[in-house]
Chains A and B, each alone.
Chain A
Amino acid sequence: MSGVDFVREVDENVPGFRERLEGLIQTPPIYLLLALLVLVSAGLAVQFSAAGGSGQPWFWPHAIRALAGCALMVGVALVDIRIWLRFAYIPLALTLALLLALEFVPSGLAVDRWIRIGSYQFQPSEPAKLALVLALARFFHDRRGRGGLLALVVPGIMIAVPAFLVWRQPDLGTAAAIVAVGCVTAFQAGLSLRVVVAGTVAAVGALPLLWWFVLHEYQRVRVRSFLDPESDPLGAGYHLLQSKIAVGSGGAFGRGFLGGSQTQLAFLPEHHTDFAFTVFAEEFGFAGALAMVAIYALIIIWGVVLAQFVRNHFGRVLAASITFIVFLYAFINISMTTGTLPVVGYPLPPISYGGTAMLTLFACMGLLLNVYVHRDSVLGRRNQTVV
């Protein structure tokens, strides 16, 4: 160990609460907030349309969740970043505890991937992605520039354990997303190139094993029906086929708000959740769908560009990795509804109905704003004594 590394690092330039509030109000990230507003509006329109032009049963709960999400976002944004840094491992620990609880709790309280408390349901696999990003950001913040086996093993465990538990639920889509988020976060945060190359080779080699030993039969059926959906139009391929018909029939400018026959006549299954994008694409056409993809792209670009200007490693990694979470929502869900990926049950917040995903997205946005507010702060390593 060289002596240079033992120099105690200090935090600099961390704004106080008043400065954070002023920073957010005086120089708000206007593009990000506008993009978010447009997406939430689109989501509300879809929920209204999916109910056949009615506020019930989805529009109003969706709107209330969006408001709650905004409050959560502002709250997360205004917290001192050092608090997030200090407690960065806690959300992952909590998530793991909940996922484990799902394994062992009697089925009356928890079914599949949901935890029920009273009339509320909670899906711990959704915030798992954000919790993992937080934990990895903290880990690599502390260990930046240091190699060694530990830098490979600890992130590996942090990724593998939640991914395994989510896969057990079984929710292959989210499990794969957790792995992807974890790997991309580790890659951006400074994992050694040798490990990256070796990991890529290993992953490609593991694909056949994945097919035979990891995938459940129903998942294999889905993948097969994805490859040839027309072979069984009323079976496993039905959802996808109806979704493609809906998207395709939308044409350039759509069938008009509340005018999509696939949606309104219930040919499209799960139209308010996993296939919410399809509703939008059917009724607003290629113009609307492309605009939506562009808005997601705008958020992603904004986040990565922000990361380039952040002066602390924790914030950099957070910003870049959170935008990757957003990218995954858009990419997996839209690809799934248009038939370029198998139907895996992956939501598209804030378009899809579903509180956990919506709140996760707003929490992500809140952290992104938090990094924005603290972009000029310099943060030292937290575990200097351990090293």
Chain B
Amino acid sequence: MKPVERRHRQDFDRRSLLVLGLNGCFLAVVAERLYQLQILEHEQYAARSDENRVKLQLLVPPRGRIFDREGVLLAGNRWHHYLHVIPPSEDEGRREMMLRLAHILQPSATQYSELHEILRPAAGDRGGPHRLVRLDSWEDVTKVASHSVVLPGVSVRRESERHYPAGEVLAHLLGYVSSVTQDDLSRNEVLAHLSNYQIGRVGFERAREEILRGKIGNLHVEVNAHGKPVRNLREKKAVPGKDLRLTIDYRLQRYAASLLAEETGAAVVIDTVGGEALACCSSPSFDPNLFVSGLDQATWSALSNSPSTPLVDRAVRGRYAPGSTFKVAVALAALEAGHDPNTTVFCGGVREIGGNRFHCWRRSGHGRLSLMEAIAQSCDLHFYELALNLGVDRIAAMSRRLGLGAATAVDEAVNERAGLVPTKAWKKEVYRKSWYQSDTANIGIGQGYLLVTPIQLALMTARIASGRGLAVRFVQGVASHGVDEGPATAAEYGRGDDLAGPLDIQDSSLAFVRDAMSAVVNNPTGTARDAAIERPDFRMAGKTGTVQVRRITAEEREAGVKKNEDLPWKFRDHALFIGFAPIEQPRYAVAVVVEHGGSGSRVAAPIARDLLLEAQRLGITDPDREAGPIA
């Protein structure tokens, strides 16, 4: 080889080996990089890979249903079918899917625009799946299902929606569900992951949310890059919510609603044996179904700003002066304090107490009346006298024993208000004023500071009728998967039972008051004689109440008190009635309040009578009825 050639060759060898060395270094860098990604940072990338492919899907179980005591559905679930679409990522694919869906479904204008929003070519790749139009007919559902081959990424899914067949009849007690708000999310983060979940708002829907909701399950789904599910990885099954059975009888409830339909007021019927609420009606009412699908602003403000406040449950939250219905409590307090019922008091129509003139409702006066007659004829002067002799604190103690002034006897779900049973100490604390004789006299006829709710009046009546320290219960039991789980326990489903105890009132006193209440209805001189039940086996006892809602001035009295019918509606008296039947072995107690209804005897008493008769006709709580066929 020539020297020149050898030099070229040495040059080449050096340079090619240099290049090889450099290449080796580069490949070492590549290997080092692989080591870094696959060994050192493996955990991190493995996690991100799983993040890519595994999506968590929450499974919401069907919400527990609510039934009445006879198994009538009060709150249930309706199933709807929705079109779920994963839009194709290419413009052309979306256009084609839009055309096919439009052809298959023949959508309405709103449905079309809903589809168009996601599937128009300019929409871009939105991922998915998106919940689009609701399929209202079974025909549409089958059409989509049978075209599934030409509609990749389109599926039909079932979703439940709360439904209240009872509608306005039982709105307040049941409450309703509505979409989750920001406020709910701050309390429970899980809700954020539940699309379209609806949460209980008021009443039992809210108080028993946990029981009705069941346990939310989850599903780990492997999805591909287009969000399309490939397979299920693991599943934690959802546990359906439990069904709730209330003590309410839907038929009686509906009847109460119909009786009060034209009125503003409340009616409560409870069973005097078990303390179960059979009807608990407030009027006017609203349709809870409106809240499920979302209220528009106009409907909402109409409901919430209406002067007749349909959203308020008057039966448990309406606070009224009990008026003359309270006289039974004053009489009991007097008898328990050793008052002789045969003592007579003269009623001349008016007397002076603490510098004020106190009138009887009958301006001409009742003359001399015993306690029995005073209750039957509802003489005010007699009760001024009794109250003044007793003092307010003894009356307050008896009121509390009868269930007034405290909400606690009732299930927390009912969200009852406590009312107000005033005492000397209470006035001192709140008004920083002394208690006056005139205050006591007002309490004696159920007016003044005293405030009670209709359900408290019903409970008071039931306690007098039964002679036991009953409490009102609303829940009979729960059932899961349709299987009855037995009676509700106090701890789990309400706290009514805990408070049932001895009434601690002498039987003789109770018997006397029951007789007096019978006289109210059944004596020719009784205030509610027109509402008497003329059946020997189901006679009613009760007490009327007519409550002034404004002060009658001295001048007006001079000019002659106007009749209720001549006054504007909002100045008319409230009409009240409490009652129970049958007298010998009481089964049902009732309280009725009709706002601005006028006279208790003429307006409230007939409603109470009809409710008692209906309860009897239906045979609610009748132990013998089980043998016969269920109507």
Contact = CB atoms under 8 A, between A and B. Distances in A.
B19 A247 contact: no
Interface string A274-313: 0000000100011001100100110011001001100001
Interface in B4-54: 4, 7-9, 11-13, 15-17, 19-20, 23-24, 26-27, 29-31, 33-35, 37-39, 41-42, 44-46, 48-50, 52-53
Interface stretch (B218-226, B397-405, B524-532): B218-226
A320 B39 contact: no
Given A265-B230, A317-B12, A338 B37 contact: yes
Given A245-B45, A267-B53, A335-B33, A304 B16 contact: yes
Contact of A189 (B12, B35, B49): B12
Contact of A247 (B9, B11, B29, B38): B38
Contact of B30 (A251, A316, A334): A334
A89 interface: no
Interface in A299-347: 300-301, 304, 307-308, 313, 316-317, 320, 323-324, 327, 330-331, 334-335, 338-340
A248 B33 CA distance: 10
B52 A338 contact: no
Contacts of B27: 293, 296-297, 300, 327, 330-331
Given A248-B42, A293-B30, A331 B49 contact: no
A265 B224 contact: yes
A290 B27 CA distance: 10
A185 to B, nearest CB: 10
A196 B536 CA distance: 127
Contact of A331 (B4, B11, B12, B26): B26
Contact of A252 (B7, B42, B44): B42
Contacts of B48: 245, 248-249
A65 interface: no
Nearest to B33: A338
Interface in B363-393: none
B23 A331 contact: yes
A327 B4 CA distance: 30
Contacts of B7: 145
Nearest to B47: A249
A293 B31 contact: yes
Contact of B42 (A145, A249, A301, A340): A249
Contacts of B16: 188, 304, 307-308, 316, 320
A249 B29 CA distance: 20
Contact of B49 (A261, A290, A296): A261
Contact of A248 (B23, B46, B226): B46
Contacts of A188: 12, 15-16, 19
A340 B31 CA distance: 11
Given A261-B222, A313-B8, A313-B12, A340 B30 contact: yes
Contacts of B38: 247-248, 250-252, 281, 285-286, 289
Interface in A241-261: 242, 244-252, 261
A293 B12 contact: no
Interface string B52-89: 11000000000000000000000000000000000000
Contact of A290 (B11, B31, B53, B226): B31
Interface string A67-81: 000000000000000
B19 A324 contact: yes
Contacts of A4: 4
A285 B34 CA distance: 9
Contacts of A262: 49, 52-53
A320 B24 CA distance: 14
A244 B23 contact: no
A266 interface: yes
A340 B12 contact: no
A297 B224 CA distance: 36
A216 interface: no
A145 B5 CA distance: 8
Contacts of B50: 261
A184 to B, nearest CB: 6
25 contacts: A187-B19, A245-B45, A245-B49, A246-B45, A247-B34, A247-B45, A248-B37, A251-B46, A262-B53, A265-B230, A266-B224, A286-B38, A290-B34, A293-B31, A293-B34, A297-B24, A300-B27, A301-B20, A313-B9, A320-B12, A327-B27, A331-B26, A331-B27, A331-B30, A335-B29
Q: Which 9 A-B pairs have the closest CB atoms?
A: A248-B45, A249-B49, A286-B38, A265-B224, A266-B225, A320-B16, A304-B20, A248-B37, A249-B46
Interface of A: 4, 144-145, 184, 187-190, 242, 244-252, 261-262, 265-267, 281, 285-286, 289-290, 293, 296-297, 300-301, 304, 307-308, 313, 316-317, 320, 323-324, 327, 330-331, 334-335, 338-340
